[in-house]
Amino acid sequence: MTATDLIRMSAAELGAAISAGDTSSVEATTAYLDRIAEVDPEVNAFLHVDRDTALDQARAVDARRADGAELGPLAGVPVAHKDVFSTKDMPTTAASRILEGWRPPYDATVTARLREAGLVILGKTNMDEFAMGSSTENSAYGPTRNPWDLSRIPGGSSGGSSAAVAAFEAPLATGTDTGGSIRQPAAVCGLVGAKPTYGGSSRYGLIAFASSLDTPGPFARNVLDAALLHEAFSGHDPRDSTSVDAPVPPVVEAARRADVAGMRVGVIREFDGAGFQPGVLRRFHEAVELLEALGAKVVEVSCPSFDAALAAYYLIAPSEASSNLARFDAMRYGLRVGDDGTRSAEEVMALTRAEGFGPEVKRRIILGTYALSSGYYDAYYGSAQQVRTLIKRDFDAAFANVDVLVSPTTPTTAFPIGERTDDPMAMYLADLCTIPTNLAGSAALSVPCGLAPEDGLPVGLQILAPALADDRAYRVGAAVEAALADRDGGPLLARSPMAV
């Protein structure tokens, strides 16, 4: 088998080929490491790649298999890991200067579960600093580029992960979704990305941004691969007190089932019209018609409070961030600046944080500190929490009548690098359709639904499901994926300029 054969395979196929002895984890890992060496200088998806550590992991999986160990479906398959997850054997920076070169003393639960499942961690992927952003331009280590058009953003905050998978530098990647940071990059890179139910995947060892919203999830080139990765790292974790003690929804079974006959699908009225790129709406409407043709019952649903979701999110998330990021105090780990013997701890702290944090992180810390300060608390943070209740009620009312809701994942396709860096509000709009799910803690999936006619860039269909019913989103996503591949003569990603 050639390196190109290995890289073209889906993660499920590669796992099966390794299991059957047609190839090995070392061969597959070598193929991907070579691909990274070839294309990553252009894409900049990775902050850290360690060839020797990756190959050591691959050799260990091959040895376990040779010893007759029972291994899971992804054993030996490489994965790109977002640099927000702690890894004991690799640096973990959250793309911030304040953590440059830091090595955590323990693994995140998601990291540990990747290792237990035999996945080989190729390296750590670029991101917006502390996962704050929608373009990966807020990384302290330079922007990542979109493999469909290198002058455009790959989405964010998990843009290194989406670019790595879309550039065929990895078959799978991890991400975290706080306001859309998996679904939006998946959509603009032509990938599948899932935001699991809040608490369905562990936050232990994840560098915190907004604790009531942060959710680890998978990126893949197809729905089944995403489901396999979802199952590999999800499930109850006693070390995360907000982890849900319930079985993982049967997402792999749902991805294999891929049928929507008789399902009730609600189109969200508030995310269908003004402010959306025409080509995005066109592909979205085609996907809805496709669902109807496949036997789903489509109705229009109104969720009026969703109009205020973006505003509520940009109060709640910065408030939680301002508190979470207080731990970067220059005392126990990370950067320390100005400790010359004359300055107090408080002065050293303030100098370190000013130098170690980038502009967006500072903006959100100050915004959050404002929203939480006495005198403004009720007007801002308190009101935002009330909006959160209204959004949950909108979801509850909608899911009483439909099985899933659908919308475009993003209002536009990938925008040019640099276009929105001086305009924070324009940047925040990229998360318009994804935020309500985070505020409600429910599940969602983004699947590719074609290329926008005006710019030839990928469009994502977002499928929203109730909490702990993630499998419904996978079932619908897999049906759309199969029908579109039939219609178009193959998967969307095969049309990418960086496809192998």
Partner 1 sequence: MSAITRDEVAHLARLSRLALPEDELDRLAAQLDEILSAVAKVQEVAQGDIPPTSHALPLTNVHRADVALPGLSPDEALAGAPAVEDQRFRVPRILGEEE
Can you give the binding site for partner 1, defined by CB under 8 A? 102-106, 198-199, 212, 238, 241-242, 244, 305, 307-308, 311-312, 314-315, 322, 326, 329-336, 339, 341, 343-351, 353-354, 357, 362-363, 365-367, 369-370, 373, 379-380, 382-390, 392, 424-425, 439-442, 467
Q: Which of 158, 161, 162, 181 is catalytic?
A: 181
Is 157 annotated in the active site? Answer: yes
The type of residue at 498 is M
Q: Which of 10, 24, 25, 82 is catalytic?
A: 82
Q: Which is closer to partner 1, CB of 289 or CB of 347?
A: 347
DSSP strands (E only) in 25-171: 46-49, 78-82, 120-125
Question: Between the CA of residue 152 and those of 45, 156, 163, 416, what are the distances in Å?
Answer: 13, 12, 11, 4
Q: Compute the least distance from the CB of residue 408 to partner 1, in Å.
A: 21
Q: Which is closer to partner 1, CB of 224 or CB of 440?
A: 440
Q: Are strands 264-268 and 297-301 parallel, antiparallel or unpaired?
A: parallel
- Omega prior to 234 cis, within 30 of 0: no
DSSP class of 285 = H
Q: Compute the least distance from the CB of residue 287 to partner 1, in Å.
A: 27
Q: Which is closer to partner 1, CB of 53 or CB of 323?
A: 323
DSSP class of 171 = S
Q: Compute the least distance from the CB of residue 326 to partner 1, in Å.
A: 8
Number of Cβ within a 10 Å radius of residue 239: 12
Q: Compute the least distance from the CB of residue 51 to partner 1, in Å.
A: 24
For residue 60 the two structure tokens come to 């260990």
Q: Which is closer to partner 1, CB of 151 or CB of 302?
A: 302
Q: Compute the least distance from the CB of residue 249 to partner 1, in Å.
A: 15
Alpha-carbon distance 133 to 143, whole Å? 12
Q: Which is closer to partner 1, CB of 362 or CB of 487?
A: 362
Is 297 annotated in the active site? Answer: no
Is 181 annotated in the active site? Answer: yes
Q: Are strands 443-451 and 458-465 parallel, antiparallel or unpaired?
A: antiparallel
Residues 6+ apart with CB under 8 A from 474: 194, 223, 226, 227, 251, 254, 255, 445
Residues 6+ apart with CB under 8 A from 138: 95, 128, 129, 132, 156, 157, 358, 359, 360, 361
Q: Compute the least distance from the CB of residue 107 to partner 1, in Å.
A: 13
Question: Between the CA of residue 327 and those of 319, 331, 349, 353, what are the distances in Å?
Answer: 14, 9, 11, 11
Q: Which is closer to partner 1, CB of 299 or CB of 331?
A: 331
> Which amino acids are annotated catalytic?
82, 157, 181
